[in-house]
Amino acid sequence: MKHRVVLTLLLVLGSTGVFAQDDAALPVFAPPECAYTPDQPTGAACLERMAASPKPAFDRIPQDRQTLGTYSFWRIGPHAVTTYSGPGGSPVGSIPEGFNFVTAIDLSVEGWLQIEGGAWVKRDDGYYVEPSYFSGVLLPEDWNQPFAWVLDTTRIYASTYPGGPWTEESGYLTKRYDMVNIFAEAYDAEGWRWYMIGPNQWLKQTFVSKVLPVARPEGVSGRWVAIDLYEQTLVAYEDDRPVFATLVSSGLDNWDTNEGLFTIWARMPSDPMSGATGAPDAYALQRVPWVMYFDDSISLHGTYWHDLFGYRRSHGCVNLSISDARHLFEWTGAAAPEGEDAVNYVYVYSSGEYGVPPGLAAASS
């Protein structure tokens, strides 16, 4: 059956390196045997490759069980909340209305909780927040297969061809944070990319975040991280070798995370954060774990108040899961010999224009 979809064929990346500094660096490529041709069945060589590697088989970044198991994070408000000297005690202050989170240190008194700093609040004025247990993956030295995380939360089926409708016939039902290999790409009539993740299984790019390496910026060496604002991914490198990858959440509209090359200028196991006091989008976070400042007050840090990594969510900072943030914190701290300060670069870039189909963007450039 002919599919009434205008397609641009996949541009297959060959075996040449994708890095600027080292031609011997590991290439990551789309398998040429899987190059897509409309209305042609998938070839035997591609089917064999997909059967041999149906899903990414990476080790996950270890869970930060200490932070996840020790701290109790609570959302307070959003209305203004009175703080007390003790359960049933005298008012001693207030937490203004806004997006506020506190760390509970005593939950032993029914109807009350003691927060970091010693004050007490009524338990009805807040609720416990379960942090995300998501974590990224460690990349092996022989990694050469592009992959992606599924972002969609609606549990849709894949399509059987690029640009096609979701259908149970594909045999693949999406699951949040599932990992998929990408074997081929094509563009639909609107200019959106579609990824072949298995035999007759295609996902539109808006449902996933793809991981691919980026050229090392000139003058950068040692340990550095690349943050792709378009895909909402982070890849950490040791010189030219990618060593781990994960999802992030960067700044929303009007709170954009700046692009550019930065260095981590301060690292803190935890730090309070607040902003926009008195405004509708005011926020105050009593304890933010694993903080790495790189662009003035903008940081990479652990996040417990949402589980939407892969989507823009922040006021400019780069949100990581708690486990990913700890791993990155410890990894950046080990970047220099003992007794010397570590220099860790943060390269923030965008591989596309957010919200714009890449096929249309390329046609207009």
Whether the predicted pLDDT of 12 surpasses 80: no
User: Of the given ranges (179-188, 250-259, 307-316, 356-365), which has the lowest mean pLDDT?
Assistant: 356-365
Q: How far apart are CA 327 and CA 321, in angstroms?
A: 10
DSSP per position, 232-264? TEEEEEETTEEEEEEE-B-B-TTSPPPPEEEE-
Q: Is 340 exposed, middle or buried (0-12, 13-18, 19+ CB in 10 A)?
A: exposed
Q: Is 183 exposed, middle or buried (0-12, 13-18, 19+ CB in 10 A)?
A: buried
Its pTM stands at 0.89
**Contact assessment for residue 224 and residue 292, using Cβ atoms and an 8 Å cutoff:** no
242-265 pLDDT tens trace: 999 999 999 998 889 999 999 999
Would you state the pLDDT for residue 354?
A: 84
Would you state the pLDDT for residue 312?
A: 96
Which helix (H) or strand (E) segment holds residue 267: the answer is strand 266-275
Query: Please, what sign has the CA dihedral across residues 174, 145, 188, 358?
Result: positive
Would you state the pLDDT for residue 10?
A: 35
Which helix (H) or strand (E) segment holds residue 287: the answer is strand 283-295
Q: Which candidate, 273, 248, 314, places its Cα nearest to that of 100?
A: 273
**Contact assessment for residue 139 and residue 58, using Cβ atoms and an 8 Å cutoff:** yes
Higher-confidence position of 22 and 112:
112
What is the percentage of the chain residues whose pLDDT exceeds 70?
A: 87
* Domains, the chain, ordered by start: 65-128 (2.30.30.40), 223-349 (2.40.440.10)
Which residue bears the tokens 């954009």? 256
Range 36-45, long-range pairs (CB < 8 A, 24+ positions): 36/7, 36/9, 36/10, 36/162, 36/184, 36/185, 36/186, 36/196, 37/9, 38/3, 38/5, 38/7, 38/9, 38/186, 39/2, 39/3, 42/199, 42/200
Whether the predicted pLDDT of 22 surpasses 60: no
Q: Who contacts 39 (Cβ-Cβ below 8 Å, separation ≥6)?
A: 2, 3
Q: Which amino acid type is present at position 258?
A: N
Indicate the DSSP class of residue 78: S
77-105 pLDDT tens trace: 999 999 999 999 999 999 988 889 999 99
**Contact assessment for residue 252 and residue 263, using Cβ atoms and an 8 Å cutoff:** no
Average pLDDT, the chain: 88
